[in-house]
Structures are given as structure tokens and as C-alpha cells.
Amino acid sequence: MNIERWPAGSPGRSRIVAAGPWIWTVATVSRPDDPFDEEVRRCLELLDRNLNEAGADRTRLVSLQVILADIADRTAFDVLWREWIGSDPAHWPQRACFQAGLAPGLRVELVAVAVSSRWREAPGEAGV
């Protein structure tokens, strides 16, 4: 199985990794002067770009981990999330939201797993 890696802005990390049908990606945007909702919107825009670059889109998400610097921001995140993900439950990924220490200046980090629309099952492989 081939593994593709898209470099991140920091050494030792990949922004996107794809292997077989699976895509793993992360989205963070550090602009400490932006309000929380703007940081979330920018992270969701970056997540869209990363997914598209790897051959997927938000409808192909299977899992999303939302890491918040302050869990009190969960309600505000949920409002923006529902706008972004849409109203069709057929496209909703499994999602977890929790608080953790993030790098200075970050209030939200999104860690996603998706299935590529480019992947074609090889003969004898189990379907996704």
C-alpha cells in the first residue's frame, strides 16, 4: 500500500497523510487576535482545503476530533459546526470534542479521518 504525505509548515510533521482509502489531516489556524468564531471558521476552511487536496470532501469524513483549549467554547463551536457540516445525517462523521492544552495562540485543533473518493478497491480487498 502506498502512503502519500503532504508536508506541514513544521519539520517532522505531515499536514495530510493518505494510505489506501484513508486520509488523516489536521487543521489549526493561529491568529491570537481573531475572535474564537473566526478561528473556527478558518480551521473549517483549512479542513475543506486539506480534504479536497487529498481527494475527499466533508461528506467523506468518518471521524473528527475537536480539541479545544477551553471546553467552555464547545457551545460556540457546535453552532459553527452545524452550519458547516450541514443538515443531512448521512454526511455526519463520528465526532468527539474535548479540552486539552494546545500550542500558544491556538484555541481549536481539528483532527480528521476521511475516505478518499479517488481510492478504488483492489481485487480481493475488503470494501470500505
- Output the domain CATH number for residue 19: 3.30.1330.40
Range of the domain at 76: 3-115
The pLDDT, as a whole number, for residue 128 is 46
Picking from 15-19, 85-89, 124-128, which range would have the lowest pLDDT averaged per residue?
124-128
b or e along 75-110 (b: 16 or more beta carbons within 10 Å of the residue's beta carbon)?
A: eebeebbeeebeeeeeebbeeebeeeebeeebbbbb
- Which pLDDT tens digit goes with each residue over 53-73? 999 999 999 999 999 999 999
Residue 120 belongs to some domain of the structure: no
Residue 108 belongs to some domain of the structure: yes
**Total structural domains in the chain?**
1
- Which pLDDT tens digit goes with each residue over 29-57? 988 788 999 999 999 999 999 999 999 99
The pLDDT, as a whole number, for residue 11 is 87
- Which pLDDT tens digit goes with each residue over 68-115? 999 999 999 999 999 999 999 999 999 999 999 999 989 999 999 999
Residue 98 belongs to some domain of the structure: yes
Residue 124 belongs to some domain of the structure: no
Residue 57 belongs to some domain of the structure: yes
Residue 122 belongs to some domain of the structure: no
Residue 125 belongs to some domain of the structure: no
